[in-house]
Amino acid sequence: MNSPETLLRDKKLRVTQVRLDALKAFMDAGFAISIFDLMDRLENNYDEATLYRTINSFSDKDIIHTVPADGKTAYYALNNGNTNVTTADIPAHAHLKCRDCGHTYCLKNIKFGDIETEGNFKAEFIDIVIYGSCEVCCTKSEEK
Amino acid sequence: MNSPETLLRDKKLRVTQVRLDALKAFMDAGFAISIFDLMDRLENNYDEATLYRTINSFSDKDIIHTVPADGKTAYYALNNGNTNVTTADIPAHAHLKCRDCGHTYCLKNIKFGDIETEGNFKAEFIDIVIYGSCEVCCTKSEEK
DNA sequence: CCGTTTTTGCAAGTGACTTGCATGTGGGGG
DNA sequence: CCCCCACATGCAAGTCACTTGCAAAAACGG
């Protein structure tokens, strides 16, 4: 995996402190984080506008992607191969929103069966949000 | 199917002109509409705050539900039996966002196969957004 | 028809971004 | 190695989509 600095150069983004720190935070998070989570994870007090611009540039360069969940938006690090397909070869992307801890994870290596409908529409991309309990919270509640 | 007035009484909401008009608009739409679409569809110029309150009360009483799509939110009429299930009996709700006409439809009578994953999470509800072309737009492009 | 409880309209407020602009800075060219 | 300038940053102000406070108006049960 690329280091934050290498990745920025590859994506033709200037290497600055905000970008290095933010990218590292996204990489470390392991789940989708909001801009406020991001601020909390950064040592320096960067300007909010700067962080939004940072997020936008990352998003434009497909370094991170936006996760829709519950109306609130959050962000996730590297788009590293977490696009899945249905058996009908329709590309899909899935997220898990844990109702216990509130974290949103990108799901990898998901497979799902065909979608059957009565309508006559054409599917090009499928976005899936699963609400439930994540692995960590499942394990915790089993221990009780 | 209930008339707007009957439905409002059933749901213990006072019958007012805004609510009658708005509910009728939602019923007539056939697809999810935003608050701005709703305004356009109403003859009277109701206050924006009132319309938001109307939408919220409809939503609270499960008359309409919110459709997440592209970050922008839209609204749909009656929750009339458009909850589907996977073969694993996980309840799900699916929407189709047409990239041609931009409309968002609730999909009914969808069935989909099991979702297989490597993780150990527990799914309780699945939200699906399919991006593609709706029936109307598919038919149009076939005619060309 | 009356009184109470909701609802409405208006205006002001909030939260989550976005934008304008002057200042500061990374990094390719010399 | 330094210089220059396109690009980034910080600050303040602006925008967009809603929400809230409050007084006036409308519903509905009696």
User: How high is the pLDDT of residue B24?
Assistant: 96
Smallest Cβ–Cβ distance between A114 and the set B112, B116, B125 belongs to B112
Do residues B67 and B106 make contact, with C-beta atoms less than 8 angstroms apart?
Answer: yes
Nearest Cα residue to B135 out of B111, B100, B87: B100
Name residues 52-81 of chain A with a Cβ under 7 Å from nucleic strand D: 53-54, 57
Q: Do A115 and B114 touch (CB under 8 A)?
A: no
Q: What is the pLDDT of residues B98-140, one digit of tens each?
A: 999 989 898 887 777 777 777 788 999 888 888 999 999 999 8
The DSSP output letter for B56 is H
Predicted confidence (pLDDT) at residue B64 exceeds the cutoff of 70: yes
Predicted confidence (pLDDT) at residue B70 exceeds the cutoff of 70: no
Do residues B131 and B94 make contact, with C-beta atoms less than 8 angstroms apart?
Answer: no
One pLDDT digit (tens) per residue for chain A, 144 residues? 589 999 999 999 999 999 999 999 999 998 999 999 999 999 999 999 999 999 999 999 999 998 876 667 778 877 776 676 666 678 888 889 999 998 999 888 777 777 777 778 999 988 888 899 999 999 988 776
User: How high is the pLDDT of residue B87?
Assistant: 65
User: How high is the pLDDT of residue B77?
Assistant: 73
User: How high is the pLDDT of residue A81?
Assistant: 65
Q: How confident is the model at residue B88 (pLDDT cuts 50, 70, 90)?
A: low
Do residues B76 and B67 make contact, with C-beta atoms less than 8 angstroms apart?
Answer: yes
Beta-carbon contacts of residue B21 (< 8 Å; ≥ 6 apart):
B42, B43, B44, B46
Query: B7 or A102: whose pLDDT is higher?
Result: B7
* B84: closest CA of chain A, how far (Å): 11
Collapse the DSSP code of A28 into the 3-class scheme (helix H, G, I; strand E, B; otherwise coil) and give the result. helix
* A129: closest CA of chain B, how far (Å): 5
Question: For testing the chain A interface, which of B67, B122, B135, B140 should be mutated: the one with the most A CBs within 10 Å?
Answer: B122
Among chain B residues, CA nearest to A71: B68
The DSSP output letter for A19 is H
Q: Do B111 and A111 touch (CB under 8 A)?
A: no
Residue nearest to nucleotide C9 (CA to C1'): B47
* Nearest nt to the A13 alpha carbon by C1': D7
Predicted confidence (pLDDT) at residue B86 exceeds the cutoff of 80: no
Report the run of H or E that residue B128 belongs to, with start and end.
strand B122-133
Q: How many Å does it take to go from CA B127 to C1' C27?
A: 46
Do residues A86 and A92 make contact, with C-beta atoms less than 8 angstroms apart?
Answer: yes
The position carrying tokens 């939602």 is B26
d(CA B134, CA B123): 28
Least confidently predicted of A47-51, A102-106, B46-50, B88-92? B88-92
Long-range interactions of B90-94: CB distance < 8 A, separation 24+: B90/B115, B90/B123, B90/B124, B90/B125, B90/B126, B91/B124, B91/B125, B91/B126, B92/B125, B92/B126, B92/B127, B92/B128, B93/B65, B93/B125, B93/B126, B93/B127, B93/B128, B94/B127, B94/B128, B94/B129, B94/B130
User: How high is the pLDDT of residue B143?
Assistant: 77
Backbone φ and ψ for A48, nearest 5 degrees, come out as -60, -45
Smallest Cβ–Cβ distance between A121 and the set B118, B128, B138 belongs to B138
Least confidently predicted of A99-108, B5-14, B55-64? A99-108
Backbone φ and ψ for A51, nearest 5 degrees, come out as -65, -40
